[in-house]
Structure 1
């Protein structure tokens, strides 16, 4: 597996992000064309196809969003536990979930100092990731 860093850590699945999305869009375009050419005999079925297309599009987006939300909750719990193990203290409530998600790539050596820096300087998730010197890869992301 390739070494993970800030530039290549995002997960991009061609079959999902491009192929599935394009197929759904083609389905919607084709069903709308069919609806525009529909007669009274097939108006109901062609309108249902348009509706199915938009349902598929919504499902495409929400399936990804729901999976990422569940992953974010798991990451938040894991990183709070890691902070407690490393310091013996609870993680501050001022650290946001997005900041915690950025911190998950930090090695144990720099994790605590990055938490303090993120809290003090209100760093964004991206700024935190760019600050990491010793990247801890996460190959099990959604």
Structure 2
């Protein structure tokens, strides 16, 4: 397995990203093409295009909404647990000062870097992307969807 880092940490679900969504996109393009080329059935092809667009939109949004909503809760919970293990105190005050993007980025840092990056994030208000780029020893997250 390839070592995870900033450049390759995003994941794809091939049946969804490379088959289902491209197929829906092709059907949408085909439907729009037919709206303008088949004047006799313009209303039918317009309806076809609208239905395909709605299916495409729902396929993207529903999958992302549920999966990412749950994962975001787990990332926050992981942050709370990790903060408690490192500092032996609750993270409520610190967590309230961080954006989710910052919390999510910190999970890629090992404990020694975590402390420094957390302090920098609080003092300098580093963005999540800046935190990720600052990590020298990347701690992989192979379970993110």
- Regarding TM over 0.5, the answer is yes
Corresponding residue pairs, total: 140
Q: Which runs of 5+ in 2 are unaligned?
A: none
Q: Which runs of 5+ in 1 are unaligned?
A: none
State the partner residue of 2:112: 109
Cα-to-partner distance string for 1:4-34 (whole Å, 9 max, x where unaligned): 1122212244543344332212101212233
State the partner residue of 1:65: 64
Query: RMSD across aligned C-alpha pairs, in angstroms?
Result: 2.1
SS across alignment from 2:7: coil
Cα-to-partner distance string for 1:38-93 (whole Å, 9 max, x where unaligned): 53xx5664333112211122123313531223212211111121111211222211
**Conservation of the 8 A alpha-carbon contact between 1:83 and 1:112:** no
Q: Does the alignment pair 1:120 with 2:123?
A: yes
Give the drift of 1:100.
0.4
SS across alignment from 1:137: coil
State the partner residue of 1:85: 85
Query: In 2, distance between residues paired with 1:119 and 1:80?
Result: 16
State the partner residue of 2:144: 141
